[in-house]
Amino acid sequence: MKQLRVLVAVGVLALGSVGAEGVAQAAPSYPDCPAAQIFATDNTAIITDPADPRLQTRLMRFDHEVRKIIHANGARPGASTLLDGVFWSDDLKQPTYERSREFEVNKAGRDGLHHIAGVIAKQYHQESVLTFRCLPRTAPDTDAVEIRADGVSATRLHDALIADPEARDRLGGGSVALDGQLILVAPLEDLGLARKFTAALGVDWNAAQVRFGDEEFVA
């Protein structure tokens, strides 16, 4: 898999007169975030055509198999959500597409979550698997945010990436659930850039969910 990014930025954004703390205060922190999440796929192909039939898969077998992996490694699987991902390829200079799933994981600490993600990456020949652990804003391990916002389509995400070279180069892309909920994970220091990008998608920042935590790409 291409590095799966529900939205991951690289580098540091200069926020001018508004720091990351000030931006974060514009939206509430939600306490109902799952203990941990894994974002993964079994896809290894590069898909550039949004009409490709492989993007219609519901990944049901993958869902069942990953749940077994989570359970077999001492954790408890929770809900699983089907996602449509749109990612910018620097090599191809165009968007690529991917079907994936978000898995909620309970009863797993940092090391256990890392191990489970590593098993998934190896079994499905993925370059990396993204994990996110919800933590308090002030926790020592907090280094990222997860932003969720309703009313976004994969088509709109595609168009926003095309229109914004900074977002596509630094943020890479994002994913949308089938019910139209955008899910973006970004480093904490890049919260300002993520906010700017969601605004371009038509998101009301005051209605968005902002969750703090720890992200990791596990190879």
pLDDT for 125: 98
Identify the helix (H) or strand (E) that includes residue 38.
Answer: strand 36-40
Q: Which residues are registered as beta bridge partners of 131? A: 38, 216
DSSP-derived letter for residue 54 is G
C-alpha–C-alpha distance, residues 152 and 182, integer Å: 6
Going from N- to C-terminal start, the domains of the chain cover: 20-218
pLDDT for 16: 29
pLDDT for 31: 61
pLDDT digits (tens, 9 = 90+) for 45-98: 999 999 999 999 999 999 999 999 999 999 999 999 999 999 999 899 999 999
Q: How many CB atoms lie within 10 A of CB 89?
A: 15
pLDDT for 5: 43
- Looking up tokens 């892309």, which residue turns up? 173
Q: How many CB atoms lie within 10 A of CB 48?
A: 12
Choose among 107, 128, 117: nearest CA to 38: 117
Instruction: Report, as an integer, the average pLDDT of 201-218.
Output: 95
What are the C-alpha distances in Å from 152 to residues 69, 173, 181, 194, 202?
Answer: 31, 13, 6, 14, 8
pLDDT for 99: 97
Residues contacting residue 129 through CB under 8 Å, at least 6 positions apart: 1, 4, 38, 39, 40, 117, 118, 120, 121, 217, 218
Does 27 have pLDDT greater than 90? no
What six digits make up the tokens of 177? 């659930």
- Please, what is the average pLDDT of the chain? 87
pLDDT digits (tens, 9 = 90+) for 117-157: 999 999 999 999 999 999 999 999 999 999 999 999 999 99
What six digits make up the tokens of 42? 């079994």
User: Is the dihedral angle over the CA atoms 39, 43, 48, 54 positive or is it negative?
Assistant: negative
Does 4 have pLDDT greater than 90? no
pLDDT for 28: 46
Q: What is the pTM of this model?
A: 0.85
Residues contacting residue 76 through CB under 8 Å, at least 6 positions apart: 70, 105, 106, 107, 108
pLDDT for 190: 87
Q: Which residues are registered as beta bridge partners of 23? A: none
β-bridge pairing 209-218 and 76-89: unpaired
Own/partner long-range contacts of 43-49 (Cβ < 8 Å, ≥24 apart): 43/1, 43/98, 43/99, 43/100, 44/1, 44/124, 44/125, 44/126, 46/2, 46/89, 46/92, 46/96, 47/96, 47/97, 47/98, 48/89, 48/92, 48/94, 48/95, 48/96, 48/97, 49/97
